[in-house]
Amino acid sequence: MKKLLMSIFVCLSLLFIIFYVESGSVSIKQETKNNGRYVPNEVLVKFKPNVNKDTIRAAISSIQGQIFTYLRDEISTSAWEPDEVSLRSFRLDPCLLHIKVPESIGTEKAIELLSKDPNIEFAEKNSIGYLSETEPKNDERFDEQWALRNNYGSDIDATYAWDISTGNSNIIVAVIDTGVDYDHDDLEGNMWINEDEIPGNGNDDDNNGYIDDVYGYDFKNNDNDPEDNDGHGTHVAGIIGAIANNEIGIVGVNWTVKIMVLKMSNDGSFCTTDAIHAIDYSTANAAHLSNNSWAIGDEYNHTFCDKTATAGVIHYYKVRAFNFAGDSSFSNIKSTTIPATTPATPTGLWARSPSPPDGVQLSWYDSSNNELNFIIERKSFSFPIWEEIGGTMQNISWYFDENLQPGETYWYRVRAWNPIGYSSYSNEIQVVIWDY
């Protein structure tokens, strides 16, 4: 067991998501509008759970939208059926839709209109992302791999870890990048193989919609050959799992591992939808973790954050700050375990208004051990619609609401949240702000 855990730890030490904002311009080859870093006339829309299909169809029709399936077919709203997996925009999420809108409406206007719909969680652009700037160094000898072992204390002490374990062929790592040279002498033996697919027979043997997806899939070009034509993905795969003791090339952090190839970029740029399709594929095919050396756009990306919240997956990442004068160094590696269930419902919501009445003190019982934060909502006699007024971080079960109207009656409720979803609401509590 110790060997397995150390193998996973060694593997994870090199797997991280790099988030940064890049100031330089990158050619997107007819994929952006005025260098706006998004695919024009496309929108990603997430509907709330349990919204019926007729309501969804009406919302999409209101912007004259067509729906992209995950296999890139463009269909009308009337042809779309959420229970039919092949007609979904994303195989694992019937509530998330990839929409094409006419140029006369455009992306910005479509988002503006959809965002007013109370049945929609979010509507956003199909943003363009970029790979990190790591370049292959063509190292041929282990002695030159300073990150694995050096004399300055700036390494991961790989040789000590290898005394315990050199990897595990049962661990599947999805490399979501520019593809991988899966025939490379230093990688071929560590490639993941889709055993449910018969190579070269032209059939979709495993019924996942992808024909002959033996090593993974190329979501950028929508074909079954995720060969690397850039080099970035192969370099990443080599760090993760280049074969050891074969008298050639370099050595990976893991001498044995299975690398799943998910290509979503040809030249360093990609769109959100291709990255999400790759994440869905890795989840559906039981990858234990994935390497994501890239960033998406300049704004918070709801779709990406929603999709990476996959039950049971451990995310390792680094963060670096950036401004126009240059970028800072990387932070320490951080990790978070995404829970497998939604949090439990907060209970015992209680409130009091101090004297003089300058606000309301709320507190509740934290019934969960897997929430990431709590959301506080309020309505009043003069504004009888629930609205979100704030939140607290995990394990903080109190909140102070201030600047309230004397003589007004307020109601409060609380729910917990983690990446899997929301809990049910707590009990409601009523508070009257006395007018002294």
Q: What is the pLDDT of residues 55-79, one digit of tens each?
A: 999 999 999 999 999 999 999 999 9
For the segment 42-60, the average pLDDT, to the nearest whole number, is 93
Helix (H) or strand (E) holding 374: strand 373-380
CA distance 372 to 374: 7
For 117-158, the pLDDT digits (tens) are: 999 999 999 998 877 543 333 335 556 666 666 666 667 777
Handedness of CA 12, 13, 19, 24 (dihedral sign): negative
Q: Which residue has the tokens 């779709």?
A: 303
In the numeric block, the tokens 């990839």 are attached to 98
Rounded distance, CA 340 to CA 337, Å?
Answer: 9
243, pLDDT greater than 50: yes
The residues near 305 (Cβ < 8 Å, ≥ 6 apart) are 419
pLDDT, residue 114, reads 95
Over residues 360-373, the mean pLDDT reads 89
Residue 65 dihedral angles phi and psi, to the nearest 5°: -85, 150
| Domain locations along the chain | 2-20+132-337, 38-127, 347-432
User: Does residue 404 surpass a pLDDT of 70?
Assistant: yes
pLDDT of residue 152: 67
Burial code (b: 16+ CB inside 10 Å, e: under 16) for 49-64 equals: eebeeeebbebbeebe
The whole-number pLDDT of residue 28 equals 28
Cβ neighbours for 112, distance < 8 A, ≥ 6 positions apart? none
CATH architecture of 347-432: Sandwich (2.60)
Flag whether pLDDT at 325 surpasses 60: no
Give the span between the Cα atoms of 436 and 425, in whole angstroms: 32
pLDDT at 197 over 90: yes
Cα(247)–Cα(122) distance, integer angstroms: 53
Query: Which pLDDT belongs to residue 370?
Result: 83
CATH 3.30.70.80 matches 38-127: yes
Strand ranges across the sheet with 347-352: 347-352, 359-365, 398-402
Minimal CA–CA distance to 130: which of 15, 301, 253? 301
Lowest mean pLDDT among 85-94, 314-323, 377-386: 314-323
Q: Which residue has the tokens 């996973």?
A: 8
Q: Per the structure block, which two tokens stand in for 158?
A: 């790989």
- Cβ–Cβ < 8 Å for 386, 413: yes
- 118: which residues sit within 8 A by CB, 6+ positions away? none
As a whole number, mean pLDDT of residues 198-209 equals 92
Pick the CATH number of 2-20+132-337 from 3.40.190.10, 3.40.50.2300, 3.40.50.1370, 3.40.50.200: 3.40.50.200
The secondary structure of residue 164, as a DSSP letter, is T
Degrees (nearest 5) of the Cα angle 322, 325, 330? Answer: 35
pLDDT at 13 over 90: no
